[in-house]
Structure 1
Amino acid sequence: MANTPQSKKRARQTERRTEVNKARRSRIRTFIRKVEEAIASGNATAAADALRAAQPELMRGVTKGVVHKNTASRKMSRLAARVKALPAA
């Protein structure tokens, strides 16, 4: 357990940051899930719209340090390829 004032403060800060990061990660997953569902439904326009909405959210996660840059790029690339493979509506 934290004993010094500095370590107590650090523990408080970590707790707050963990909550923020958890919420941000959850938000990113929600956006990705919406793209996945649109792809599963076979609706190319809805999938493309969902992908456009998910992209800035994923990249924001990168700048905030929640997701690694390469991970976000890989997810975007794979989603984009799947959306592109959908037959045009």
Structure 2
Amino acid sequence: MKSLIQAVVVAATLAAPVAVFAQSNQPLTRAQVREELVQIEKAGYNPARSNPYDYPANIQAAEARVAAQNSAMGGVVGGSSQRGQAAAAQ
């Protein structure tokens, strides 16, 4: 039962970024791919230490940590606002 819950959590974590990328029609740039690789390595994945038996679990765990970290940070909101003051006419 515990492994089923873990499998569902991992699948949901991996499906969320896919849904976000599915809405984008633009391909990733080299810089974006490099940034993602750096994030995964900072999350604890080391391709030099992985073996074929642990690879899927290790990369999925690192991707899950990156996704959790990115969702905890929240998005960047553009724009600005002023409260309590009238807008200046230009």
Q: Return the structure number with greater relative CO, CA threshold 8 A, min gap 6.
A: 2
Task: Specify which structure has the higher proportion of helix.
Answer: 1
TM-score range, shorter chain: 0.3 to 0.5
Give TM-score scaled by structure 2 length: 0.32
Give TM-score scaled by structure 1 length: 0.32
Which structure has the larger Rg over C-alpha atoms?
Answer: 2
